[in-house]
Amino acid sequence: MADDRDRETLTYSSIRAFRNCRKMYDLRYNQHLAPIDEDSEAQALGTIFHGSMERWHRRDMAIPVGQAINAILEYIDGACPDRITDDRQKKIWHLARAMFLGYIKKYPSDAFDVVAVEKAFESEIVNPETDHSSRTFIMRGKVDGIIVKDGKHYLLEHKSAATIDGNYIDRLPMDFQIILYSDYIERFMNIRIAGILYNVVGKAQIKQGKGETVEEFQKRRAELIAKSKTGKTSAKQWVPESDEEFQERLAKKYSENDMFHREMLIISRENFDVLHSEIWELTQQLLLARRTGQWYMNTDYCFHYNRPCMYFPICRSGGNPLVIENRYRIVPPHSELDGAGDNLEPMFT
Ligand code: SF4
């Protein structure tokens, strides 16, 4: 068998990219291109949210809980060092704090034991017909956590979502990522994964009040007076909402039940059989694409999330080198394995 170091890494993200658009795979995983402004607000918040959950669930139970909370709030502060001058960082900081504080209030203790957090794995990709391992590829990934409940192992998966509704929950059993992770973790750790505990936290959509200038107030006041039967108004100039006031408003929002949801799903073993065949088939198609140099575009996918794919400027320009030079940079693939995130697409956001 080939040495692991000689084999090429496949991850959930890279397989998903190849499945959805081969051109996307080629640009990210062969050419190592990533947009210069890739670090979206959602990704930055997701990284801090996962970091908070990781620290909370692996905390030393021997230290006072207040000390653990303070350490995590300090981590959030450190992740947003420019929040005083940078509005985007300020917004992420507020939300990350409120999500974490709301979470520990909602779930001050858990009816399960956390046995691993941010667990990295690597496993063979096996041909289901011959039982032989791939000599070219190896599967790598990282799961948010592994828990034990009533003597059974479950994956713990943290998700942040703009809306937690019936549609969102209905789609969870179709989550290709988690079926894949369950299967490979089983083989890597030699344990049986009974299911997945999805731990979903909502992203509050409220914004910090910015206040209004004197001119804006005068204009609004004039409009109110024009509409008033008495020709008067008691309107006052809006002042900016302080950080404390906004945190208070966010805390109230996060005291609502629909900002959190936990869903326990049991894995069907049949899902694994289908997955093995599909993953093997994809590796064969990947080898074929590499041999022929054909990385087909799936143009139905360019606006899949009602916004352009991050490589749309390249594809639209026919691969113009100037577009690539000005809008993209070289980033090593699989950065999610280092904790940096490598999301080409939003996941249920
Ligand atoms: S823009 Fe369209 S064709 Fe190009 S990589 Fe993205 S999904 Fe594929």
Q: Which CATH class is domain 4-204+254-338?
A: alpha beta
Joined tokens for residue 13: 């993200």
- Higher per-residue pLDDT: 210 or 139: 139
Across 23-32, 34-43, 334-343, least confident range: 334-343
User: Which ranges in the chain are annotated with CATH 3.90.320.10?
Assistant: 4-204+254-338
Closest-CA residue, ligand 1 atom 7, reads 302
Closest-CA residue, ligand 1 atom 4, reads 315
Nearest-atom number in ligand 1 for the CA of 309 is 6
Residue 269: predicted pLDDT: 81
pLDDT at 194 over 90: yes
> How many CB atoms within 10 Å of residue 36?
10
Which residues lie across from 264 on neighbouring strands? 197
Report the pocket of ligand 1 as residue ranges, CB < 6 Å: 21, 23-24, 297-299, 301-302, 309, 311-312, 315
Nearest-atom number in ligand 1 for the CA of 301 is 7
pLDDT at 163 over 90: no
pLDDT at 339 over 60: no
* Top mutation candidate among 16, 310, 312, 323 for ligand 1, by most atoms within 8 Å of CB: 312
pLDDT at 15 over 80: yes
Which residues lie across from 200 on neighbouring strands? 159, 261
Q: What is the ipTM of this complex?
A: 0.99
Amino acid letter for position 252: K
Residue 297: predicted pLDDT: 96
Residue 239: predicted pLDDT: 86
Residue with tokens 């034990």: 148
Q: How far is the CA of 242 from the centre of ligand 1 (A)?
A: 43
Q: How far is the CA of 342 from the centre of ligand 1 (A)?
A: 17
- pLDDT mean across residues, the chain: 89
Q: Give φ, ψ of 127 to 5 degrees.
A: -70, 115
Q: What is the mean pLDDT of residues 127-153?
A: 94
Q: How far is the CA of 289 from the centre of ligand 1 (A)?
A: 16
Q: How far is the CA of 310 from the centre of ligand 1 (A)?
A: 8
Q: What is the mean pLDDT of residues 256-276?
A: 88
Residue 347: predicted pLDDT: 36
Q: What is the mean pLDDT of residues 183-212?
A: 91
Residue 214: predicted pLDDT: 87
Percent of the chain with pLDDT over 70: 95
Across 121-125, 249-253, 338-342, least confident range: 338-342
Residue 5: predicted pLDDT: 61
